[in-house]
Amino acid sequence: MSLMFLDRQKDNPSPHNLNIMPRFLSFLLLVAILINNTVASSSTTSTRSHIASPRRSLASLDKVKQIKITKNTQPPTAALGLDTIIKQQRGGSSTAAATMTQESAGLPSAVKLLIGAGGIYAAFLYYGSLQEDVFRYTAEDGSQFKQAWLLQVLEALANVVIGFIGMQLTGPTKGIPKQAFAISGASQVTAKACTSLALANGLSFPVATLAKSGKMAPVMLGSLILGGASYSIREYLQVAAIIGGTAIVSMGKKKGGGSSSSMMGVAYIVMSLVLDGVTAGFQKRLKEETKKAGVKPKPYDFMFWTNWYMCVTAVVISVALNEVKPGLAFCTANPEIFEKIIKFALCSAVGQSFIFYTIANFDPLVLSTVTTTRKIFSVMLSIFLKGHSLSLTGWSGIALACSGIFSELLAKMGGHAKPH
């Protein structure tokens, strides 16, 4: 059974790219940083407005004393719900309460969601398209870009730069335990490199993306073996649907050579999934270490330090594997591929900024919904825009895998799923 599940083009990638995205990405990055600063400064402005008190006339002093006496018999405002506060205060008082609410909330939730979700979709849909283009590109001499670790160096470096800028604007957190970040960053960059190596070794982008959606499988397996956890039948079926659907998609009808490279691609994506499970454990440990240290890192602290150690790890491994010189030589000889790599790295940095923005303003379920649906859209865009040929069997596999993904998402929305 051949594992060349989708027809791949031998020539250069299809030109059906989102041409407006490069300019739009820089705009999105500026919006993300400005929004974070606006939200942070609004709370400071609101606090200062309460400190400053207007001049009062002598005739109003009795009223002020009466208000002070009333305050002693009522619960503090912070202990009351917003509806209760508005009901208790009529006329001008209700208007003042509404104004305070608007000031503290900043932008409306709908606008924040549009910024966060729109930024994630725009950045990572283009990110996926560029990643596929990089590893499908074929030079005139027939050579291809295979230096996955060098790609991780450039991607992590872009995130380090943006993370550093954001950290300086929002203020760095002192006393962060760096060792936990080092371990988490090393495992995370290795997982990402394995995904790139899977694409470089014949695994198609749609299948790799679907397979990565099943990353809860190794987490469940590790929890069952090491933690003695238990899962419901529904959760087992969700994992089986994603894995089974991905396997069905892999049963393409394309014949010929290349099955060995496809087998290598499958091996790398399995390694990536296992490392995703390991990374999840290290990230949990990271939260515990920061809590013990009595510090609460800000979003850009996480972005900077995680990607710093990702970059350091990628540099060491790329140098050890002698990828730097051949990779840069390939980019010099093929400037169009180097342009795609730069855009790819920028998309990653912009996308992460919007992820942190969404985390700061919404429940984790909102982010999970956005990122999960984004993966499905990435698969569909790749199939329709990159010239992939999919049989009826392949489409049934897509449907089965997507049903498993949506089932997991619905379970989370209903509060029935365990955190992975």
Instruction: Say what the pTM is.
Output: 0.68
Give pLDDT, residue 281.
79
- CA 336 – CA 375 distance, rounded (Å): 26
Residue in 350, 22, 353, 345 with CA at minimum distance from that of residue 155: 345
Of 395 and 63, the structure prediction assigns the larger pLDDT to 395
Query: Best-predicted range by mean pLDDT among 62-66, 213-217, 220-224, 309-313?
Result: 309-313
Residue in 377, 389, 268, 273 with CA at minimum distance from that of residue 4: 389
Residue in 182, 213, 150 with CA at minimum distance from that of residue 397: 213
- CA 258 – CA 303 distance, rounded (Å): 38
Mean pLDDT, range 281-309, rounded to an integer: 87
In this prediction, residue 177 has a pLDDT band, given cuts at 50, 70 and 90, of confident
Q: What is the 3-state secondary structure (H, E, C) of 66-87?
A: HHHHHHHCCCCHHHCCHHHHHH
Which token pair is 306? 């995680």
Q: Is 318 helix (H, G, I), strand (E, B) or coil?
A: helix
- CA 396 – CA 401 distance, rounded (Å): 9
Average pLDDT, the chain: 74
Give pLDDT, residue 30.
52
In this prediction, residue 412 has a pLDDT band, given cuts at 50, 70 and 90, of low
Give pLDDT, residue 277.
79
Give pLDDT, residue 128.
92
Residue in 3, 9, 119, 2 with CA at minimum distance from that of residue 383: 9
